[in-house]
Homo-oligomer: A and B are copies of this chain.
Amino acid sequence: MFSAKIRSEVLKEITDVISTLVDEAKFNLAADSLTVRAVDPAHVAMVDMTIGKDAFEDFKADEGELGLDLDKIKEVLRLARAGDVISLEHDEDRNRLVVRVGNITRHMALVDTAGMSDPKVPNLDLPAKLVVRTDELRQGIKASESVSDHIALLATPDGFEMVSEGDADSVRLDLPKDLLDELQSKEKVRSLFPLDYFSNMVKALSSAKTVTIFLGNDYPVRIEFGLAGDAGNATFLLAPRIESE
């Protein structure tokens, strides 16, 4: 059983974050929360999201799972006006989701979840941790897009840096310690990432003013952030691109 009501902007944020990596996803239902774990087709990145029932206007669910086509959810979201509440209900007899917004009802076929894995979140020991404003990240990404397809993230005891090196030009975002909300980095660590993945992840964040970044040396990055006014939270993991010497 699943029956819920959710403000359209919260559903949009959830959908945007997951659709950064996949077009279809398995939503795991429990009595007091909804969780989604997904890995992108190229196995470069992972999202792990938990949305508590407080993120919803109304939430009733038994243990279970729903396979959703995220593009269809986005189509419904485009019908919503500011402040609209969207109603979601699992029609178990016909195995479809009944979605209502305003005077419109959409009967949405569910996606078979048989082929969808339940990825394990790897246990990473990442030595550096920092809390940075999302809009600073966006500026650094925008600057990097002019010169390269990759971006290096660096943490030092003194600050956080994003660096991209092109053929002729290079670009650097420097955030010294006092511009960060938090910084724990005993030594310098640095990893290189594909810029398009990192950019899409950061662009999907609509309400989180800051994100927490965990970083190592040639290691994946972990990006944690709140969703739906902290009634939910999510983690992105992104594999590094190992630089050849």
Residue pair B75, A173 in contact (C-beta under 8 Å): no
List residues of chain B with CB within 8 A of the CB of A106: 143, 146-147, 169-172
Q: Closest approach, in angstroms, between the C-beta of A152 and any C-beta of chain B?
A: 14
The residue that A79 contacts in the complex, of B76, B78, B108, B142, with Cβ under 8 A, is B142
The residue that A168 contacts in the complex, of B75, B109, B168, B173, with Cβ under 8 A, is B109
Is A139 an interface position by the 8 A CB rule?
yes
B-contact 0/1 string along A136-156, CB 8 Å cutoff: 100110110011000000000
Complexed CA–CA distance, A76 and B173 (Å): 13
List residues of chain B with CB within 8 A of the CB of A173: 103-104
Complexed CA–CA distance, A106 and B143 (Å): 8
Complexed CA–CA distance, A201 and B150 (Å): 37
Is A72 an interface position by the 8 A CB rule?
yes
List residues of chain B with CB within 8 A of the CB of A147: 106
Q: Closest approach, in angstroms, between the C-beta of A137 and any C-beta of chain B?
A: 11
List residues of chain B with CB within 8 A of the CB of A109: 168-169
List residues of chain B with CB within 8 A of the CB of A175: 103
Contacting residues of chain A (94-113) with chain B, CB-CB under 8 angstroms: 102-109
The residue that A169 contacts in the complex, of B108, B143, B169, with Cβ under 8 A, is B108
List residues of chain B with CB within 8 A of the CB of A107: 169-171
Is A179 an interface position by the 8 A CB rule?
yes
Contacting residues of chain A (145-198) with chain B, CB-CB under 8 angstroms: 146-147, 168-175, 179
In the complex, given contacts A75-B143, A103-B179, A106-B169, what are 6 additional A-B residue pairs having Cβ atoms less than 8 angstroms apart? A75-B146, A103-B175, A104-B139, A104-B172, A106-B171, A107-B170
Task: List the 10 shortest-distance A-B pairs measured between CB atoms, nearest first.
Answer: A109-B168, A75-B146, A104-B143, A105-B172, A107-B170, A106-B171, A104-B173, A108-B169, A79-B143, A103-B174
User: Hey, which bits of chain A sit against chain B, CB under 8 A?
Assistant: 72, 75-76, 78-79, 102-109, 136, 139-140, 142-143, 146-147, 168-175, 179
